[in-house]
A and B are shown apart, each in its own frame.
Chain A
């Protein structure tokens, strides 16, 4: 008996009992739909986290002083220059200093955070310019008295007034506002950008921070950007080695080297774990769906006892009957799986349309769902099919 004929017979039988067939499938439809949706949500969450981290630059390495270490050497401009010139995988280097600042404008005053930076950092971290502009290399060289203000601080100080061109006092120093910016995603190191006072590094050095040390001009942080073809881990390793050499470290580092990749990896591990948990939870409903198929198939075998007896009398072997019922179960589950997959995709897109989290339906999750639904049908179809195959034709034919 050929497979095509088997499939046709199964399709005719299932179509004849459309409502029951649909209800049998329902459990599996929901199960497969949830698996697809949960995996899509999990991957969407991963993408969301990645997107949030992307602006912070996963190709950036940060070096700073280890504040817990006493007696270590400070991080200096000389270190920064050495890192830039001696490590071949460095694309760009940006020095950085920070300090607290008190701002006065007309009768208002507020607390802010002074950041001494260069255009290199602006480019590296992609500070958004909400109004005005950032300062130029020339303004850094000339120690220009210009400032870019964080959005929150700007709103607090200027309210409805245009901040651009305003003269403000920062820790008693007169500065001209040239731009407004807001938070970049590098929160670990730049926690107060919303209340930031971004000024040229040279200006901050000259006017706000007594930053000279026996080893030269002292820095808060040094940002290094890896070349596009270089790995962040490699750069981290090289920077660590160079710093140990320069600071003559014997036992314990007096600096730290961090990169966002590590943080991103942690988040990726968490969201991947979350995806697995969601998918496993949904899998439970798949099992329930499979048991549902088994129940209905058992009822179906009982109802069709006479038909089975007849088929056996006409020469159908146990194998043929077994195959017929297994094919029915597998057909139910595959069709249910397809409907469930379609439902999962539609739901995922609906969620994507109304939420910032964009679920992503991957091809492997569809392949997985199809495979699982087929396997569920096979697994839960075997028992009823065996019951059918083992029926004694004499007793089966006598059944009313």
Chain B
């Protein structure tokens, strides 16, 4: 089991009152699964993604990620977990504008303490993996949206994470390039990577092998792995 959530609750203080966004989530994701978390806005899917991505801590409940209890970790330890275990893919790509593709991809390894030579070798491999071998030294502004998202995927793969966590990965792309990104996800899934996609787009959700639906801070139903 890569991810095991048990009675995860999260509440925020808003205008003096506690608002409970997650009301007790039980969820397990196996290694190699390709899951989509779906739900309308306000359902708590962003909050759930932040907790799975170790960007936030639950108010209560247990979260075991790749054998580590991360629910009670300190900030510094969480930063390390994000660095080693999670590959983030954002809707807006979030590439550093002044760094070329290679430097962007190498960034997580820099924070992991890998030396410059190995970083460069590994980042080059990752860019080759996503089909951008001829774009190593392009700045983000010199790349199309689809290419930028592939750079971001290469970056997410850089530190060999336990899970890829994608937040609306096709939200800023046209249908065709969106499909290309989803094809790439499928390839990565076939290679055995664990993928979690957070989306409100049913087309994106349908490509996943498992649908997890959220409504009002609770799992609507845990749809078992679909047979396609």
Interface size range on B against A: 20 to 34
Does B84 sit within 8 A of A, measured CB to CB?
Answer: yes
- Chain B residues, CB < 8 A from A296: none
Interface residue from B76, B88, B112, B116 paired with A313 (Cβ < 8 Å) = B88
Of all chain A residues, the one with the shortest Cβ separation from B113 is A1
A1 close to B94 (CB less than 8 A):
no
Residues in chain A near residue B111, CB distance under 8 A: 1, 311, 314-317, 320
Question: Smallest CB-CB separation from A400: which chain B residue?
Answer: B92
B108 and chain A: residue at smallest CB distance = A314
Nearest to B107 among chain A residues (CB) is: A314
Q: Which of chain B's residues have a CB closer than 8 A to the CB of A313? A: 53, 55, 82, 88, 94
A174-216 residues at the B interface, CB under 8 angstroms: none
CB-based contact B79/A394 at 8 Å: no
On whether the beta carbons of B98 and A12 are closer than 8 Å, the reply is: yes
Q: Is the CB of A5 within 8 A of B94?
A: no
Asked if residues A311 and B107 are in contact (CB atoms below 8 Å), the reply is yes
Q: Min CB distance, B171 to chain A, in Å?
A: 14
CB–CB B55/A317 < 8 A: no
Partner of B96, one of A1, A310, A397: A310
The listed residue (A16, A311, A315) touching B80 by CB distance below 8 A is A315
Residue among B75, B83, B98, B99 making CB contact with A314, cutoff 8 Å: B83
Q: Which residue of A lies closest to B158 (CB)?
A: A314
Interface residues of B in 173-197 (CB under 8 A from A): none
Question: A84 on the interface (CB 8 Å rule)?
Answer: no
Residue interface bits A4-19, CB-to-B below 8 A is 1, else 0: 0100000011001000
Q: 8 Å CB contacts to A: which residues of B41-72?
A: 50, 53, 55-56
Q: Kindly provide the distance from the CB of A137 to the nearest chain B CB, expressed in whole angstroms.
A: 83
Q: How many whole Å from B49's CB to the nearest CB in chain A?
A: 10
In the assembled complex, the CB of A189 is this many whole angstroms from the nearest CB of chain B, namely 73
B88 contacts across to A, CB distance below 8 A: 313-314
In the complex, A311→B104 CA distance in Å? 10
Which residues of chain A are near B55, meaning CB under 8 Å?
313, 393-394, 397
Q: A1-B110, A311-B107, A394-B50 are in contact. Are A317 and B76 (CB under 8 A)?
A: yes
Binding site of B, secondary structure by majority: helix, strand, loop or mixed?
Answer: helix
Answer yes or no: A113 CB below 8 A from chain B CBs. no
- Compute how far the CA of A315 lies from the CA of B50 in the bound complex, rounded to whole angstroms: 14
Q: Which of A13, A306, A316 contacts B98 (CB 8 A)?
A: A13
Q: Restricting to B126-157, which residues have a CB under 8 Å from any CB of A? A: 155
Cβ–Cβ contact B108 & A318, under 8 A: no
Q: Which of A255-305 contact B (CB under 8 A)?
A: none
Please, which residues of chain A bring their CB within 8 A of the CB of B82? 312-315
Does A162 touch B at the CB level, under 8 Å?
Answer: no
User: With A1-B113, A313-B55, A313-B88 in contact, do A16 and B98 touch (Cβ < 8 Å)?
Assistant: yes
Q: Which residue of B lies closest to A5 (CB)?
A: B110
Docked Cα-Cα span, A284 to B110, in Å, equals 40
A318 touches B75 (CB 8 A): yes
Q: Output the residue of A307, A311, A312, A314 with the most chain B CB within 10 A.
A: A314
Chain B residue numbers with a CB within 8 Å of A315 are 79-80, 82-84, 108, 111-112, 159
Q: Is B34 close to A, CB under 8 A?
A: no
> With an 8 A cutoff between CB atoms, is A51 at the interface?
no
Nearest A residue to B155 by beta-carbon distance? A314
Q: What is the bound-complex CA distance between A314 and B108, given in angstroms?
A: 6
A81 to chain B: which residues have CB within 8 Å? none
- Output the least CB separation between A315 and chain B (Å): 2
Q: Is B116's CB under 8 angstroms from A5's CB?
A: yes
Given A12-B98, A397-B55, 5 additional A-B pairs, CB 8 A: A315-B108, A316-B79, A317-B76, A393-B55, A397-B90
Instruction: Point out residues on A near B: beta carbons under 8 Å.
Output: 1-2, 5, 12-13, 16, 306-307, 310-320, 393-394, 397
Listed A/B pairs (11) with beta-carbon separation below 8 Å:
A1-B113, A2-B116, A310-B90, A313-B55, A313-B82, A314-B83, A315-B82, A315-B83, A315-B111, A316-B79, A397-B94
